Structure 1
Amino acid sequence: MNLRSLIVVLMVALAGCATPDRAPDLTPPVLISENTWRQVDRDIVAASLAATGSVKNYARRSMESWRDRVYQRNEAEFIPWFTSYWTQQWLTIKVAWYKASTGAETDPAASRLATYLQEQYHDRVLEPVAKEIDPDAVMELAMKLYVQLLDKQFQGIAQRYGVPLDQFDRRLKDIPAIALAPPPAHSASLYQILHADPIDSLPAYVALVDRIRNAAGGTGAGPSDASISSLAKRTSEKLEATLVPRGAASAAAAAVGEVAGMMISIAAAGFSAILHENERPEMVEQLRVILNVALNDEWRSLMENPATGVMGGVNYLSGQIEGNLTKTVTLPVKFEPVPREVPLPGEQPLQDGRSVYDAPADDWNADQ
């Protein structure tokens, strides 16, 4: 029995040795011509241009809503606060204290008052608006939307030209999308930004976002230093002019005795309140002009500054991608941008047909 089993094993082994080796796969790889690659590159550039246009429409609508919200907070919160009688009284005290505590500095009251007003503007206007629409968040969402739209449009390019997927992926790996110092941690290819999940896990992406925010000093920072400084200087000069009459009234009240002095103080305060109410409409209008001019300047900077505005990240990515392919492409084909009526991430319709930005859920995508 053991001998028979041994013979069977030997015969099977010999038969296996006698079987000829399987022929290797000699199918040649698909060769893609340089002309085809130029067409592929052309379509990549076209997809980038279309995605940038669609994202800019989204960013503009979001920032128009931001501007509307800031304007509303200016009217409802900051202007009434600043022009109120008691705020002006409090600012007068602060200006007097600034003057008494700062030696021979050049215009110390105005500069310190400007810092105080900036803080108040941030707390009363910008921070509440940022809870609804944050320009920093718009900038980063625009980048993510741009990447999603690119990925969606790229899906048909390889098939259109008969390019094997592995070769198309290698092409994308050769296209730099982020190239910050120091490499390689702060560098990423087009393939990497398309396939990073989530994209926030890509060190180069995080570094790019940080660089844009640092360069901008925080998007949506509000009225420029020049605007607030001008407002503070006017306010300081006006309040300083009231210190002498108020000091004279206080001295007179102290000189005539307790009861009569109280009457003088009440009369002076009443006169000051009446005078303030008479001047308040003009003060409101002047402040409204200052804030509106500053708001429009800030909005234009957020929308039009190619490096630090809300499109700064998209402009960087598209500039890298398109710039590295410019030498290989001719006029690009036209990709249709996302239609105007298609809602973009985080938009909610208003009753008048417009839409506003609201922070989207984590699972939004370009098809929404």
Structure 2
Amino acid sequence: MRGRWNALLFIGAAAFLALAWADRASPDSGSAPGRDGARGHPHFEKTLDVEVFQRGNIHTHTSLSDGDSEPREVVRWYREHGYAFVALTDHNQRVDPAMFQDMEAQSNFTVIPGEEISMWAKGRPVHVNALCARATIGGGDFQSKGEALRWAIGRVRAEGGVALINHPNFDWALSAGDILGAPSAELLEIYSGHPYVHTEGDATRPSHEALWDTVLTARGAAGGGIAGVAVDDLHQLLPESDAPPAGPGRAFVEVFSREVSRAAICSALASGRLYASSGARLKRIAIADDAFSVWPVAAGAVVEFVGRGGRVLERQQPTAGRATYRLRGGERYVRARITRPDGKRAWTAAYATVE
């Protein structure tokens, strides 16, 4: 009798342990089954592995508005200095790429449609670039900065284009609240070669990069996210210009594309498949599972992996040419900032994470 009772106790204990383990491992329990399971394993939302980039400038002025050189001269400069594409973005007028078909045919280079929608609100300039749009949009006066942004971004979308919010700190025009109060644009200037736009902010106002992090943190890198870009905002091509120089070759984007065609470049811009640069270059960007890796071109570059709120998650000097960050959980997004020894930088897009 005692042996039978012991056997029943053993069977009952075994059943209890089995049920407890099943509850622990159940997908509905909310518990983490480990790195190979579906839950509790922080990973990036998307995978990526890119080694082919096309360089371009997407904020450029000519003599059609307030630049000092003819459109063909501006296009020629970019084509002859290793760029794959350029957008001429004169104020409130779309430059038709058909003007440059003969120049495109001579090399692996394309001109994409562009216009700088130039508006005023509360005495401040609000500028949005319409890239790849089908028609001229024009500017105007608005009661608020949010209204101006909403109107411009809506019109760009209606014309099949890509919206770029330009230089928020130009005349200290736009705050993070202004940007968050409007529909999400695809792109935001985080670095500009123009000397008047206060890219780095000042003692009391945030830099363009810090504004970007505020927007990313509020909206998340997925869905409402926005890609940061770097631009020349070219106005002076001629060396004899008397104006403070806003010259060429100071900043650019590198889009992820194997081909140099208008359609491919516009598609990459629309989806934020790019990195931004003030001079630093990348050989490769790769994201798989919980690992984010970049390969800087310059020896001695420092890589900072940045998370929500602009917090530096980790700072590395690449080993064997590569820097890698592995997720720890709670990041929400991660982006990389690469700094060369001479101070030139590159910024990847922000990539969303999943817990």
Q: TM-score, normalised by structure 2?
A: 0.22
Bigger helix fraction: 1
TM-score, reference length from structure 1: 0.21
RCO (CA 8 Å, sep 6+): is it higher in 1 or 2?
A: 1
Bigger Cα Rg: 1
> Larger % of strand: which?
2
